[in-house]
Structure 1
């Protein structure tokens, strides 16, 4: 991928593209909750309808993730990201002009969801893995941290547009930004040299052959199930039930939202630190340590009570181990499953994360309905995180398929 005169310049450009693409994609997803009350007042759309569209989008994303990964393996990650950005742009554009429920559903849960499934951490991680071996972990951590950066950098700007002008401008701005970035990536790809094209060439193989290679690798199954546990304990129980739990403890919305903002901000730092460590320490031990640390955070959560300082302490500590699993997991997929099929493997693993998230969200709601509280949910998340830590330790005994350069 010849974008500049030096290899470091190329890495920097790809990292920047990945960061910005994920920031836009995750911000577009988060805007659904921001605009939900406005749609309720303006169109009379029920929250169950809008939430159902959001849930349908998650299902579509889980289905698209492996396909997007395989497309990244076959056609290259950057062209895949460009396609995804333009698809998100089209989807957000449809939402921006929506005044009927079906058009909103098609825009967000149809076209938009396909784009969300493509512009994802596993495609960005594949782009980094194919570009460099040395410093791969740090580059992956920085690039994929865009997934959380958008939540406290772009979403507030969208909230300003929503308040000052209209919700249509919020989605219209997202559409324009995604389309512009997609075009920029396509222009860069059009200018790459013949040498870079040879470097990016993909060995032609069938989807069946690629699946056979992935599924025949024991390391894949370890990483799949551990990442499913990751989805359960992050997207599932925390992203869905942290704020309701804070309300149950008696905290007003403002400190609860502030604590969640701290979690998101520290999350970005945690991803970068985890990426830096991925290049320097034993990766199975690092990943196991992250899961073990996450398990301990649920002890903190159960001790929050009505102490706001404890709430913020949990948010800060959990933020360090929230998305921190991504760089180490991506690096282990590259070395133990193979870079050639990394997109497909990471896509399947990402689908597992989405399944875990759905199970966690449902388990949290069921646990609350049955017990009137979240203690059983937090205990369950604690033991699931502990099991994930023990599972990834098995990787320490498995040889890498490809050399690891640090």
Structure 2
């Protein structure tokens, strides 16, 4: 039993490694790659950043189907297939000669990481760990966020050996890494494992598994999904444009090497506060904790707009890390505890449809407004407002009670 419990935490750490590889270079540090492509081909900002929209299009549409595949065929197979596709896409990306190849190869990368990245990792953690779910899931989100540490590595690689060889090497690493990740994450969780014993003294832990149809009928599903969609619009847009903004002449106008350090600072504070957020979520109300952290994430965007010096950018990076880091594990833990284990991947996939669409559209719109106005300011104000609305919406995502679930009702009654 003890070994099973320890394996649950090994799954959490492995999920973090998965997140580091699948979310790092091509998401959190993607704007570094986009800048290199823009410099070589001299394409418009809309065309260059629009690849993030096109790439996430497949992931958005595939999200609900992806969750069903995970529930049906298992985490391990999806991780292996996803990393194979992503690795192949990266190798193709290193060989691009025109915009069509640019978009198609990035689409393959995004589809692969969508299939084999975050969702199967968080599903494996949800299956193995229940008592400290928010803390365990924070390890996965921490790994994903630490992917931003690849930004200075990419800057160094691009300046030293060129962006094509840098991406080619990354593709080979992804192909090799898929095998051990799939093996660890794909191990089925024992049905009676002590790591899956639910602590019924906590109000927010579900005693029942909702079917996808049942989840769709709850206010909690829609409030949580809408809040996640709104706040992630800012995430998608900033990750596609942050390096552009920091190095633009009408922005902070930082040197490329200095700008490459900002993303790791964001990642380090995100890592710290994802762990803090996980602990707070296991102690206090996840809804109100998430609401507060989402508001802080919005505040950081306002600080970025006002930042005119390197010090101001540093302050933004720290506050962003606190807000994004704190809210990230809470949202996923709420979904797992609200709707149970059995159909978690499918329900997460359904919820990710709206999230993916917002992250798909926001980079394109921000890029279009930049090409028209030669400024990010108004777009960033919109992202700030979306975060504030998200912080209010998530408060309405209360724990649903499944019909005919007398056990849950009794537990809630006992807790007053």
Structure 1 counterpart of 2:312: 310
Partner of 1:22: 19
Inter-partner Cα distance in structure 2 for 1:249 and 1:291: 25
Aligned to 2:278: 275
Q: Take 1:170 and 1:238, find their aligned partners in 2: how far apart are those partners? A: 19
94 and 196 in structure 1: CA distance in 2 versus 1, 3 angstrom threshold: farther
Task: Answer with 325-334 or 359-368: which moved more.
Answer: 359-368
1:236 aligns with 2:237: yes
Counterparts in 2 of 1:50 and 1:213: CA distance versus 1, 3 Å: same
- Which residue matches 2:329? 327
**1:167 deviation in Å?**
4.0
CA deviation string 1:60-103 (max 9, x = no partner): 12122222222222222233222212221222233345567655
1:12 aligned partner:
9
2:396 is aligned to: 394
Tell me the distance in 1 between the aligned counterparts of 2:152 and 2:238.
Answer: 24
Residue-by-residue CA offset, 1:286-324 (whole Å, 9 max, x unaligned):
1111122233334434543x3432332122111111253
**Following the alignment from structure 1 to structure 2, what is the Cα–Cα distance between the partners of residues 14 and 335?**
18
2:144 to 143, 147, 150: 147
Residue from 54, 79, 82 that aligns with 1:81: 79
Q: Is the 8 A contact 1:288 1:389 kept in 2?
A: yes
Cα displacement string for residues 125-173 of structure 1 (whole angstroms, at most 9, x for unaligned residues): 2211111101111111112222221221x44445544444454443333
Q: How far apart in 2 are the matches of 1:356 and 1:189? A: 28
**For residues 246-301 of structure 1, what are the alpha-carbon distances to aligned partners after superposition, in whole Å with 9 as ceiling and x for unaligned?**
74355433554443442232222222221222212111111111122233334434
Residues 263 and 318, structure 1, Cα contact 8 Å, conserved in 2: yes
Deviation digits for residues 41-63 of structure 1 (CA, Å, limit 9, x no counterpart): 77x58466654444321211212
Give yes or no for the alignment of 1:336 onto 2:334: no
Q: Look up the match of 2:173.
A: 177
Q: What number of residue pairs does the alignment pair up? A: 386
Q: How does 1:84-123 map to 2 (within 5 A)?
A: 84-96=82-94, 105-110=103-108, 112-123=109-120
Aligned mates of 2:16, 2:302 — CA distance in 1: 32
The CA distance in 2 between the partners of 1:32 and 1:316, in whole Å, is 20
**Structure 1 pair 102–184 and aligned structure 2 pair: CA distance change class (3 A):** same
Structure 1 residue 13, shift from structure 2 partner? 2.3
Q: 1:29 offset after TM fit, Å?
A: 1.3
1:62 to 60, 65, 69: 60
**Residue 202 of structure 1: aligned partner:** none
Q: 1:98 to 1:291 in 2, by over 3 A?
A: closer
In structure 1, the residue corresponding to 2:131 is in which secondary structure? Answer: coil
5 Å-filtered alignment, 1:234-383, equals 234-237=235-238, 239-240=240-241, 243-244=244-245, 247=248, 248-254=250-256, 255-304=258-307, 306-362=308-364, 364=366, 376-383=378-385
| Aligned partners of 2:13 and 2:140 also within 8 Å | yes
User: Which secondary structure does the structure 1 equivalent of 2:342 belong to?
Assistant: helix
Aligned to 1:215: 216
CA pair 119-159 structure 1, distance change in 2 beyond 3 A = farther
The structure-2 alpha-carbon separation of the partners of 1:98 and 1:395, relative to structure 1 and needing over 3 Å to count, comes to closer
Rounded Cα–Cα distance in structure 2 between residues aligned with 1:37 and 1:242: 8
Q: Does structure 2 retain, via aligned residues, the 8 Å contact 1:237–1:357? A: no
Q: Does structure 2 conserve the Cα–Cα contact (< 8 Å) formed by 1:237 and 1:364?
A: no
Q: TM-score, with normalisation over the residues of structure 2?
A: 0.78
Q: Secondary structure at the match of 1:25?
A: helix
Whole-angstrom CA distance in 1 between matches of 2:77 and 2:255? 42
Q: Summarize the Cα distance change of 1:239–1:279 in structure 2 as closer, same or farther, 3 Å threshold.
A: farther
Q: Which residue of 2 aligns with 1:135?
A: 132
Distance 1:334 1:221 in 2: 15
Q: Secondary structure in 2 aligned to 1:324?
A: helix
Please list the CA deviations of residues 342-381 of structure 1 after superposition, one character each: whole Å capped at 9, or x if unmatched: 2122223333223223443355456667877555444433
